[in-house]
Structure 1
Amino acid sequence: MAQWWRSAAGHLRTVAASRSSSSALRRSHYHTIQAIPRESTGSKVSSRDRMQGRIPAVVFSQSLLEKFPDARTPSKKHLLTVEKKQIKAVLNSVEAPFFCSTRFPLQIRAGAGSSHLLDSGTVLPIKIHRDEESGQILNLVFVWAEDGMKLKVDVPVVFQGEDACPGIQKGGILNKIRPSLKYLCPSEHIPSKIAVDVSNLDIEDRIFMRDIEVHPSLKLLSKNENMPVCKIVPTSLGNKEPVGE
């Protein structure tokens, strides 16, 4: 019977990128991040900004993170501060796990409350630095993410269908091996999350990276597409599948 389930799972399994990426982008446009320039840096300056309800931030081209950045690509780097209240509202709206896989419009104003626009564009958050004890956001890192740009993005994996999974109903456990997958994405096709349906999996069944269906323009950045994303393991099996490339 288990063998039949495994065979059926191979045919009935549906693994797809979340269709919510377009709706997430529409939601993000309700949150045009407002920023102002930050002329000086340092821990004292940053502490003062936080005391005033602002978060230090930086935005630049992702190519600057490469080992050998392309000198032909303009860096367009800005040191900024953003409103703490607005960032908290954004995190509550898009859900924190998907913040760094969602694009947002950015407007850089001459000063707080100023109508003078210095620069604008679309950005992707790539890092939230938090205080380890308090959880307070210390600073944010963004990269420019205009249409046509290709970005390396860690897309969160969300597992669905656990309540209907035959393997779990038999007492198995879903071993979530990969919490995210890294893709090279045209910025306009960045998925906010990858939805993986496990509702047809039996014990010992796996879903592999190669099974994930995404927009054809996305390129999986992995040395081995045969690595599993998840597996249903028997309850008696204490050791989990190792994570790796």
Structure 2
Amino acid sequence: MAGEIPDLHALERTGTGKGAARQARRDGMVPGIVFGGDVDPLPINIPFNALIKRLKAGRFKATLFNLKVDGHDDVRVICRDVQRDVVKDLPTHFDLMRLRRTSKIAIFIPVEFTGEEECPGLKAGGVLTVIRPEIELVVTAGDIPEKVVVDLSKLEIGDSVSASDVEMPAGTKPTIDRDFAICSISAPSGLAAADEDEEAPETEVIEQNAETVEGETEQGEE
């Protein structure tokens, strides 16, 4: 079970349409709309600085929030879109979707790597290459896992871990049907270069001088 779902505080926006949205922006707010859940859409505002902070923290569109609006019951929401100014790249509007606890959603779950201290490949000087630091899973809104755990304790240099090698959290499944790589243990660059030198075939080099050229000419004349 995931940790506590973060609160997202908003204010109900009076009035709709472009005029109300422009006024909200002049007041230092970013207008938005909450839809879904068999309930009428709810126009809201979020303070510009608060929204920017959330966006800079990352994964805003992949995080489940507990939306708190005065005069309304708390509801779980997920962001479905953030419109931005084409010149300044600042948020101008956002869309939130209501979710029931039983709703199925696709969300990115972070990967946690364990067993690094026991990993034979890392002990031998190998390097952990992380291909997917997070995995998009289909989960139930009321039971979002906190992480996907990948055990490295038995990996040697050259080994890799794919989705099929990992036990996904109960009740979830990856959004990608095919198997995909999550991480690998690579040889350090110095060792890899040494291996390439050892495998390279030796080529005999004959220095060209007067005797060798003369000998080749005589053989050609015969």
Interval containing the TM-score (normalised by the shorter chain) = 0.5 to 0.7
Give runs of aligned pairs for residues 143-162 of structure 1, distance below 5 A. 143-160=97-114, 162=116
SS at match of 1:39: coil
TM-score of the aligned structures, taking structure 1 as reference length: 0.59
Equivalence for 1:40:
17
Structure 2 counterparts to residues 95-134 of structure 1, below 5 A: 96-109=57-70, 117-118=71-72, 120-127=74-81
Query: Pick from 188, 195, 201: which aligns with 1:235?
Result: 188
**Unmatched 5+ stretches in structure 2:** 194-222
- What SS is found at the alignment partner of 1:210? helix
Give the superposition deviation at 1:209. 1.0
8 A Cα contact 2:63 2:107, kept in partner: no
**Larger Rg: 1 or 2?**
2
Residue correspondences, number: 190
Are residue 53 (structure 1) and residue 20 (structure 2) matched? Answer: no
* 1:81 match: 45
Higher relative contact order (CA 8 A, sep 6+): 1
Distance 2:140 2:148 in 1: 16
The change in CA–CA distance for 1:149 and 1:36 in structure 2 (over 3 A counts) is same
Say if 2:156 is the partner of 1:202.
Answer: yes
Q: Name structure 1 gaps, 5 residues minimum.
A: 1-18, 62-72, 110-116, 239-245
Supply the distance in 1 between the matched residues of 2:52 and 2:112 (Cα, whole angstroms).
Answer: 22
Q: Which amino acid aligns with 1:36?
A: E
CA distance in structure 2 between the partners assigned to 1:210 and 1:202 by the alignment: 18
Deviation at 1:193, TM superposition (A): 3.7
Identity of aligned residues (%): 24
Distance (Å, rounded) in 2 between the aligned partners of 1:54 and 1:85: 8
Please give the secondary structure, in 1, of the residue aligned with 2:18: coil
Distance (Å, rounded) in 2 between the aligned partners of 1:154 and 1:74:
26
What do you get for the CA RMSD once the two structures are aligned? 3.7
